[in-house]
Chains A and B, each alone.
Chain A
Amino acid sequence: MRQVIHIFIKEFRGYFVTPIAYIVISIFLIVTGWFFFSTFFLFNQASLRNFFDLLPLIFSFIIPAVTMRLFSEELNVGSYEILLTLPVTYHDVILGKFIAAVAFVAAMLAPTLAYPISISFLGNLDWGPVAGGYIGAIFLGASYAAVGLLASSLTRNQIIAFIIGTAICISLTLIDKMLFFLPRTLLPFLEYLGADFHFQNISKGIIDSRDLLYFLSIIFISLYGTHLALQEKN
């Protein structure tokens, strides 16, 4: 467990010693800020509905960009060999990197707390859905980070890792919006697969164990896949 913490600290600091963190956070804040506030005053409602509606799609692009380097860079530079010959297990490495990515997502979301705070001055904001939305956003971010980590472990090329990660995340986001093409019998099943569907449930303020279970299973499957991919490498 100690090793997980050391790897987490190293990876998390790694984000902030290079410009990556600042660039990604800036882009995230500009994009969410623009899309959210450009329509906010038209609706004339004191809610963060719009912000949370957009989040899954924005995360699909941003989070694979955050996670793409985690394994790809190590595989490319060869530092992976140094890391794995230190007294650590695969679990330590995967968990440390995963937690670092989730912490980064949290750090990226933290400045957006300014939105509900400033809105609460403008009108009567219901804090329930806001809290639900942030909890959901962390779960959604963690799931996409796990998917991004898996993509990163598959290749030594960061760009390919980013594309694979984005492709999977976008599919998870949009799958329940494509349903009208498909036979009716598949509907409930495919709807269950959609990350957006579960996220919207939570962000209404309803924290249902089925939705949490969905995110936890995405995380588990992705991290397990990462483990297999790394083991396969030697």
Chain B
Amino acid sequence: MIHIENLTKQYKDICAVDQINFDIHKGEVLGLLGPNGAGKTTTLRMLTGFLRPTAGTIRVKGFTIAENPLEIKKLLGYLPESAPLYHDMIVYDYLDFVANIREIDGNEKLKRIKYLADLCGLNDVMHQPIGELSKGFKQRVGLAHAMMSDPEILVLDEPTSGLDPNQIIEIREIIKRIGKEKTVILSTHILSEVEAACDRVVIIKQGKIIADGSLETLKQSAGRKNRINILLLNSDYESVKKELGSIEGVEEVQMETNNEGVLQASVICRPSADLRGDIYRKIKETEWILIELYQETQTLENIFRELTTEN
């Protein structure tokens, strides 16, 4: 559906986006991740035709940004970062204006505005100036703006930034609902959001793609060893190391902390081995008191940290 090739954006002395390539398929919810200043927003701005790429092509359904920007803009709904809307206009007038520009007429326009007001929870603020709304409501107006033409592709730049937890969950629900039928591209640095809503993740760092795949493949390819954390009372590190180290499949026992008789240790195991049962059985044989035992799952957070902090 969207084909991005060698996309580059060069500002005076920095290269914000450096030759990135990826495809986005129909019906996909793609999460664009990256630390601050990685080039997420710049990429989205080029995709939506706001910025002109220094080099490279963007093809949306056979149209290119360079030749048919208008056709692409018609296919896209875009919510820019922090929803910079017209502050003087009241919400209804604004949505009406967007509907007019999107060439939605008469009855259909009223129906559409009403539907979006219900979907985004705007009914109570329809007649307030946008400038007087709280950030969360502005974000919702922005979302309604982006969905006005029922676009095939929805581009959302940090849709949940600055919202309270309830609003975040609401907006995430909306995104999930839309994502069932539409192609959604979502940039964020909130990782739980990606885990909650996205099928596929692209991680960008300093303008380059450093990871691209589904959450599952990313977790697997990160290939970290299984780590089991235990909390013990009535024990000492030396004996724990000796006893647990003897279990087949354990590669290393690390002591994390040892406070007031509580020993926290992590057992590093071979990949794809689940040794929780063996460890429990071993501990049962001793006088130690087990107060906690859990296997650390490979979270997106870990993957993200690993990929974006290494040099």
The reply to whether the CB of B80 lies closer than 8 angstroms to some CB of chain A is: yes
- Digitize A74-86: 1 where CB-to-B-CB distance is under 8 Å, 0 elsewhere: 0001111110111
- Closest B residue to A78 using CB positions: B84
- Give the chain A neighbours of B52 by CB distance below 8 A: 234
- Digitize B87-99: 1 where CB-to-A-CB distance is under 8 Å, 0 elsewhere: 1110001000110
A17-B82 in contact given A6-B100, A87-B73, A234-B52 (Cβ < 8 Å): no
- Give the chain B neighbours of A30 by CB distance below 8 A: none
- Give the chain A neighbours of B89 by CB distance below 8 A: 10, 14, 17
B116 to chain A, nearest CB (A): 16
A6-B145 in contact given A14-B89, A17-B89, A85-B78 (Cβ < 8 Å): no
- Closest A residue to B77 using CB positions: A85
A88 to B98, CA, bound (A): 11
The interface centre, meaning the residue of A3, A7, A81 with most chain B CB atoms within 10 A of its CB, is A81
Which residues of chain A from 65 to 108 have any CB-CB distance to chain B below 8 Å in the complex? Answer: 77-82, 84-89
A8 to chain B, nearest CB (A): 11
Question: Is there contact, CB below 8 Å, between A87 and B85?
Answer: no
- Give the chain B neighbours of A14 by CB distance below 8 A: 86, 88-89
Question: Is there contact, CB below 8 Å, between B101 and A81?
Answer: no
A77 to B84, CA, bound (A): 6
Which residues of chain A from 1 to 20 have any CB-CB distance to chain B below 8 Å in the complex? Answer: 2-3, 6-7, 10, 13-14, 17-18
- Give the chain A neighbours of B100 by CB distance below 8 A: 6
Question: Is there contact, CB below 8 Å, between A84 and B84?
Answer: no
> Looking at the complex, which of B20-28, B43-51, B255-263, B297-305 is the stretch in contact with chain A?
B43-51
A6 to B103, CA, bound (A): 10
A84 to chain B, nearest CB (A): 6
A2 to B103, CA, bound (A): 9
A175 to chain B, nearest CB (A): 36
Question: Is there contact, CB below 8 Å, between B102 and A85?
Answer: no
- Give the chain A neighbours of B48 by CB distance below 8 A: 85
The reply to whether the CB of B76 lies closer than 8 angstroms to some CB of chain A is: yes
Can you pick out 11 interface pairs between chain A and chain B where the beta carbons lie within 8 Å of each other? A14-B86, A17-B89, A78-B80, A81-B80, A84-B49, A85-B49, A85-B76, A85-B78, A87-B74, A89-B69, A234-B45
Report A's interface with B, CB cutoff 8 A.
Answer: 2-3, 6-7, 10, 13-14, 17-18, 77-82, 84-89, 234
